Amino acid sequence: MILRPDQLQAQLGKALAPLWTVHGNEPLLVLEAADAIRAAAKKQGYEERETLVVGQGFRWDSLTLAAGNMSLFGGSKLIDLRIPTGKPGRDGGEALQRHAANLPAGTITLLTLPEIDWQARKTSWFKALSDQGNVLELNAPERERLPDWIAHRLAAQKQTAAPEALAFIADHVEGNLLAAHQEIRKLGLLHPEGALTLEQVQDAVLNVARYDIDKLRHAILEGDPARCARLLDGLRGEGAAPPLVLWALANETRTLAALRSGQDEGQPLQALMKAERVFDERRRQALGKAVSRLSIGTLRAALMHAARIDRMVKGLVPGDIWDEFLLLALRLSRSR
């Protein structure tokens, strides 16, 4: 059964299912959910825990042995199986299918994985886990939902903050949920329960945003020029390699140009997305909105601009590369 994150607590209050799979793109949330399941299992009498970490040289018969061995203390047992790569391989996939089909009595299996891509979701082993147990996906909140996520976390420690204070925290911890968690906990230690002022938040919160190129691409697609400028400034301050930034900008521009050109020729957008190998639903929506506001002329000019920056990166023509990055990002993020 596929569970939403907000359904977890209700499930933990019942007799636990014998199989749990926790995955997602945010390690903090995956860790918190796994910890909650482990705590609930211990509370329900699963005193022994056997941890298996899949790495190089891991033998999958270890899972079979763990499932077959009775608890040393004669009670119930939790098998804590972790696959850091998210790729069990053929042998692992077959072992997971066998395990899911023959769940041992008196045992709970908790499987933790990183983000699972669309290809892995179609595998037989992942379908077996979904059919036979509870599957929980925990992803980082989208940028527009981050203030609400912060507000919810503050409420858990009986604190509130005005919208501008929540926005300030979100801007300074963007892309780094663990840092957000730490800053929220810090506010709980520094200030009593109740409302926090913007000044209190500004004094306490550090600038711990993790600027990365993926965020820049999303800001361009969302048409957010202010965020593009902030992210580029952060990337420059962190010493990001210009060729990597250029690759991201040029690649996004080429994709948008292909979609816009195809649409102008009367081709359906969904077919064009498939041809460009765009399968993630959120990215599909973002690209669709960007294509609707950008003309083919703008995108062709952006491609020429990217080519000029490429010559700057190679030292063939003079110019400030980061200023050009900003101009290109603003060209792509502006409204028609």
Q: How far apart are CA 255 and CA 238, in angstroms?
A: 27
Q: For position 194, which CATH number holds? A: 1.10.8.60
DSSP character string of 228-240: HHHHHHHHHHTT-
Query: Do 126 and 217 fall into the same domain?
Result: no
Boundary of a domain, candidates 84, 115, 137: 137
E-strand ranges in the chain read 2-3, 19-23, 48-53, 77-82, 107-112, 134-137, 159-161, 194-196
Query: Do 166 and 239 fall into the same domain?
Result: no
pLDDT score for 250:
92
Give residue 9's domain range. Answer: 2-137
Query: Do 95 and 150 fall into the same domain?
Result: no
pLDDT score for 206:
72
Q: How far apart are CA 154 and CA 148, in angstroms?
A: 10
Query: Do 329 and 272 fall into the same domain?
Result: yes
Residues of the chain with pLDDT under 70: 70-75, 207-211, 335-336
Query: Do 75 and 161 fall into the same domain?
Result: no
The pTM of the full predicted model, rounded to 2 decimals, is 0.70
pLDDT score for 165:
94
Six token digits for residue 257: 């140009």
Query: Do 152 and 236 fall into the same domain?
Result: no
pLDDT score for 209:
66
Query: Do 220 and 325 fall into the same domain?
Result: yes
Q: How many domains does the chain have?
A: 3
Q: For position 126, which CATH number holds? A: 3.40.50.300
Six token digits for residue 132: 């036979």
Query: Do 164 and 82 fall into the same domain?
Result: no
Query: Do 133 and 115 fall into the same domain?
Result: yes
Q: Output the furthest CA–CA distance in the chain (Å, rounded).
A: 75
pLDDT score for 71:
54
pLDDT score for 62:
92
Q: For position 241, which CATH number holds? A: 1.20.272.10
pLDDT score for 193:
94
Query: Do 282 and 170 fall into the same domain?
Result: no
Q: How far apart are CA 3 and CA 66, in angstroms?
A: 26
Q: How far apart are CA 93 and CA 76, in angstroms?
A: 25
Boundary of a domain, candidates 153, 182, 204: 204
DSSP character string of 274-304: HHTT---HHHHHHHHHHHHH--HHHHHHHHH
